[in-house]
Amino acid sequence: MDTHAAGSIRARNVFTAEHEMFREQVRRFVEREIVPHHRDWERTGLVPRELWKKAGAQGLLCTMVAEEYGGGGGDFGHAAVVMEELARAGASGVAFQLHSDIIVPYVSAYASEERKRDWLPRMASGEMIGAIAMTEPGMGSDLKAVRTRAVRDGDHWVINGSKTFISNGQNAGLVIVVCKTDPEAGRRGISLIGVEEGTPGFSRGRNLEKIGMHAQDTSELFFEDVRVPAGNLLGEENGGFRHLMHQLPQERLIIALRAGVVMETMLEKTIAYTKERQVFGHSVFDFQVHRFKLAQAKAEIAMYRVYLDDCIARHMRGELSGEDAAAAKLLGTEMQNRLLDDFLQMHGGYGYMAEFDIGRAWTDARVGRIYGGSSEVMREIIARTL
């Protein structure tokens, strides 16, 4: 069946009727609980934990987690619906997708049964918010350069180190720490270990001030002789790099998915604005230079939507390759930055005002070319398949 997602400029068939019914529920929640408050959260730099609990109660978190662990028992289509509706509303600070579809999969795939039964229900309810601590000062995208250490001491791991640029860092109740358990082995000596808030020696630094995504808390984290049970290891000891590589295609698809919806939404808003805004006695839309740019943007976005929906469909079948996810992220984030700059220009001075959606979308979009692997890293991944 053909359906229309919010902001879409063409018919789509990747979602089922069940997905679209869920979309209506998500959209109502976003419009009621998020849209009226998001500007205030941007000013305070934090989304309140109460929102997470409300979302959990409505089944908007952990949609792909099995029902026996408190999740929705759905598929990636349900997760994509949540992401699309948040992107359509410009709710860049509400990191449900980071929690549910980037962090939680590590717990679902690699945690022990005991930890899954402890952590997953709390993550599905919004009581426990997740973060993953990879990046360190000066490290960039090079995981081999991780300096945070975890040393086995009997039935515990003892962790020392620091992390930076950690999304959900202030709100996180569970942090998956990427650390070295065999410092001489490079990437083959990396492990993933869960650390809960309140653990002695684990502390949060300042909430970092970013140029965009102002409502999403992003923090420094510090680990000083942090002792956690050995059972908090996720997956195999020294197998962390392999686990990260297995999960990264979904993370990159999520970033691409957001870029696609933001471009579609901002295109529609820019067309409407240029038809209303008057310059020299004519609407901005009347000038051929702007009409042609909007026409070109519509053609490019429509083409990208076809590829993106094909990636979503293949991911739902378990067939999405790492290089295709990298291509989707590369194309979407690069195109997003270029087109949003054009759209902002068409808004004139108002486009530079924070109260206009296009201005906030423009600043929020810039990080897409950096996080989840930079555009340069995406090109390298694709180049290896040539």
Q: Does residue 4 carry a pLDDT above 90?
A: no
Rounded average pLDDT over 265-286 = 94
> Could you give all domains of the chain from N- to C-terminal order, each with its CATH number?
17-125 (1.10.540.10), 130-238 (2.40.110.10), 242-383 (1.20.140.10)
Rounded to whole angstroms, the Cα distance separating 370 from 83 reads 19
Rounded to whole angstroms, the Cα distance separating 190 from 182 reads 7
CA within 13 Å, CB half, 38: 22
What pLDDT, in 10s, does the model give residues 138-161?
A: 776 677 889 999 999 999 999 999
pLDDT the model gives residue 142: 73
Contacts for 317 with CB less than 8 Å, ≥ 6 apart:
none
Tell me whether residue 50 is one of the annotated catalytic residues.
no
**Set 251, 300, 323, 376: catalytic member:** 251
Rounded average pLDDT over 50-66 = 98
Q: Does residue 320 carry a pLDDT above 70?
A: yes
pLDDT cut 90: percent of the chain above it: 90
Rounded to whole angstroms, the Cα distance separating 369 from 364 reads 11
Contacts for 71 with CB less than 8 Å, ≥ 6 apart:
62, 63, 64, 65, 120, 124
- Give the position of tokens 């090079």: 142
Whether the CB-CB separation of 119 and 234 falls below 8 Å is answered with: no
Query: DSSP for 172-235?
Result: -SEEEEEEESSGGGGGGGEEEEEEETT-TTEEEEEE---SS-TTS-EEEEEEEEEEEEGGGEES
Rounded average pLDDT over 57-68 = 97
* 329-333, 355-359, 373-377, range with greatest mean pLDDT: 329-333
Q: Does residue 5 carry a pLDDT above 70?
A: no
What is the 8-class DSSP label of residue 211?
Answer: S
Rounded average pLDDT over 319-342 = 97
